[in-house]
Structure 1
Amino acid sequence: MSELQEGNLDLPLPGDGNTWQRWESLIRLGRQDLSLARLAEGHTDAAAILDELGADLPASGELWGVWAAHPPTHRLSARRHGSRWVLNGSKPFCSGARTCTHALVTAGADSGGRRLFAIENEGTTADPSTWAAEGMSDSDTLTLAFKDVPAVEVGEPGDYTGRPGFHHGGCGVAACWYGGAEAVAETLADKAGVGSPDPHTLGYYGAVVRDLRAARDVLRRAAEEIDDDPDDLGGRAAERALLVRSVVASACSSVLGHCAEALGAGPLASDAAYTRAAQDLSVYIRQHHGARDLAQLGERAAHGAAGAGP
């Protein structure tokens, strides 16, 4: 992964005063290749988590992932083995399953509760059959089987999701989505900017410009707010992350739809870059939980505003 080897993933940490610079790097990677951005986002998120929880940062040449999905169909358990822990079971949606040298992994402890562990990615077995989609296929997102994999606990129980950075990191994922939407929009932008495009093309492109600029403004404002209150003393981090992710995911869906309507089947048949960008983005934004996240946003906003409206 050349971005790592060249040191291009040594990004500012969230809340350090340069959050927008951090996200601009993720946007650039998303515009270039969403699978690359997914791996980069995981590595940089791991670095931020390790920093926030007082652990050593990734060493040169290491590539880290954050594997925290826990659907009911899979279980990864942690049990003490002397002074350390070992992990057994399976974990789905591990991006960089065969690429990452290390990872932060959530697992259910034998004593109860879910904890966060650091592992060297040895002793795991990837199942290549667990990713059927063309979209995001290069992100190497697979289910991993763990058998007595040594692990070191990071932080205390509850620290991973309880820190403000959990929500700051969620906004960083949306920055990757946004970069992917810019890549999808490039083909329509080219069509709208050449010759005398028809009014329908210009109308679709106008909608794309509207959605992208609105999403970028929301991301930029969120970065400023995080830098102003990195420790979330104002208690807005969770609501902010829900808002940012919802706005950006909605913009991405709109861009995909408008570009598909305006461009038709032509680019899907003849433009490999456009097809790949559209497929990747369609899959990646499924990390947004749609109506469930909107319900959480509405609940938080309603209680916080005390009936005063958004």
Structure 2
Amino acid sequence: MSSERGETVAPDWPHPSLGNDLTPRVAAALAAAIDVPDFGTDVDATLAWAVATGADVATAPLAEAWQLLASTAFVDVGAARIIEPHLDALRILAEAQRDGVAADLSSLGADESSMWGVFAAEGSGMRLTARTSPGGWTISGTKPWCSLATSLTHALVTAWIDDDTRGLFAISLRGPDVVCHEGPWHARGLSQVVSAPIDLDGTRAVPVGGPGWYLSRRGFAEGGVSVAAAWWGAACALLVPLRHAARTERADQIALLHLGEVDAAMWSARASLMAAAEEFSHDGGDTLVASRVRTIVAHAAEQALRSSDHALGPAPLVGDAAHARRVADLGLYLRQHHGERDTARIGRDLVRGPASW
């Protein structure tokens, strides 16, 4: 890895593990990342790595996919943010094939070299509407929060078929009827991973699954936890400078306290991820479990950010480029968790039905 990354992620610190040694596929992916120039900050180079990596992991066991995301985020948060939606799209398409609802994407020019995003967010005053005709499906409207749209070739998007039902569609992002905005994006963290609206005007679309399949499919909850696996891997890297600080002659009980608190938080989050991977592999997705894991991991990552600030002070935030970027990147990435609102959703689910323990 570059020297900038090496300042934060020391060679004597192992990659975070979700219970097993790195599989050959994950190990190969991380080895290939070494040769990627500006890994994580050069979007095109990192996307090329993601395409080469994602095809092998798209049908791998869930725990292996999460291990890849966690290990990638441990090295570079931006790289994890780049590969996560591409891998999510490939796993959704693989699930559609297993469910017997696979789509023929050849008409969109999609192939093994395609770079995918998943655009499922909704926003006030922004809406995609899908219409069918004898010539096939088309989509019009505006979709918010479309990460890396200007760099991708294809995307899976949710669009409203009627007032109550959304469907999932594959589209090409390279046609004249697609406008990918370049902002506004004033982020200091993940500045290279621009998330901005796209405008569609009668864009040709291929349905993936039937109406409502995307939200009701077995693997829906997995995607939300995949993001949490990346948060966890990124936060684990903060243990490295905390351990270094606790080893110095000037270290006191407070330095040991911060290291211990973050270690305990990371261990707890790891346990929740491992439990979810095991449950999902046997029983399928459970949105309540996914919400619990996301909340546990988000709280643990926020604990790591807070403890590293308190333990290390301002010096690495202004003098260590890798550390400063990691803190900023992880802080923004965590905002995909909606804080107290997401935690309140757990309570709402528990009020509506029994706890699935």
The two structures have a TM-score, normalised by structure 2, of: 0.78
1:10-89 correspondence to structure 2 within 5 Å: 10-11=56-57, 13=59, 18-54=61-97, 55=102, 59-89=111-141
Partners of 1:197 and 1:9 lie apart in 2 by 46
Structure 1's 129 and 169: CA in aligned 2 closer, same or farther, altered over 3 A?
closer
Counterpart pick for 2:197 among 143, 146, 149: 143
Give the aligned residue type for 1:289: H
Q: Deviations over 1:4-42 (max 9, x none)?
A: 3543552154xx6x3222111010111122222122111
Query: Where do residues 1-310 of structure 1 align in structure 2 (5 Å cutoff)?
Result: 1-7=47-53, 10-11=56-57, 13=59, 18-54=61-97, 55=102, 59-109=111-161, 113-123=165-175, 124-195=178-249, 197-230=251-284, 237-305=286-354
Structure number with higher relative contact order (C-alpha < 8 Å, ≥ 6 residues apart): 1
CA contact (8 A) 2:294 2:337 kept: yes
Root mean square deviation of aligned Cα: 2.2
Letter in 2 for 1:105: V
SS at match of 1:130: coil
Q: Which residue identity is paired with 2:196?
A: L
Give the conservation status (yes or no) of the 8 Å contact 2:55–2:90: no
Contact 1:96 1:140 survives alignment (8 Å): yes
Structure 2 residues without counterparts, runs of 5 or longer: 1-46
Indicate the SS of the match to 2:274. Answer: helix
Secondary structure (helix, strand or coil) at the match of 1:97 reads: coil
- Which segments of structure 1 move beyond 6 Å, counting only runs of 4 or more? none
8 Å contact from structure 2 (residues 139, 159) kept in 1? yes
Q: Distance in 2 between matches of 1:148 and 1:100?
A: 19
Q: Distance in 1 between matches of 2:191 and 2:55?
A: 21
C-alpha contact 1:36 1:139 (8 A) present in aligned 2: no
**Native 8 Å contact 1:130 1:143 kept in 2:** no
Work out the CA distance in 1 between the residues paired with 2:51 and 2:221: 28
Partner of 2:31: none
Aligned length: 300
**Aligned-pair identity (%):** 37
Q: TM-score, normalised by structure 1?
A: 0.89
Displacement of 1:225 = 1.1
**C-alpha separation in 2, matches of 1:166 and 1:22:** 15
Gaps in structure 1 of 5+ consecutive residues: none
